[in-house]
Amino acid sequence: QVQLVESGGGLAQPGGSLRLSCAASGFTFSKYSMSWARQAPGKGREWLGAIYNDNYTEYPDSVKGRFTISRDNAKNTVYLQMNNLKAEDTAMYFCARGAGDYEIDYWGQGTQVTVSS
């Protein structure tokens, strides 16, 4: 079955960096767009960007310039590099199959990111 397993979360300092990974299995990874999203307590899920099967990427203005999505098809893994972290980045981070609300059909279990001094 389709599985998406996030890792790499933890505690980071404001201004610091963190790299999240999402290991995918159960489907032909190279044919699919992949997304990252996050959810803070009491808030809805916020889309953070997507990488398409041709490596084209897109991001919302809220994270553009700080977050970078990449993929390694040989490893069936998608990454989220987060730089210049802020306290407001504290959330549970999820990877998903698909590029947006219309296409997404599977979600991972999430990995917690906490940004605090």
Pair of tokens at residue 34: 């992949």
Per-residue tens of pLDDT for the chain, all 117 residues: 999 999 999 999 999 999 999 999 999 999 999 999 999 999 999 999 999 999 999 999 988 899 999 999 999 999 999 999 999 999 999 999 999 777 899 999 999 999 999
* CA contacts within 13 A on the Cβ side of 57: 18
Site of tokens 């299995």: 25
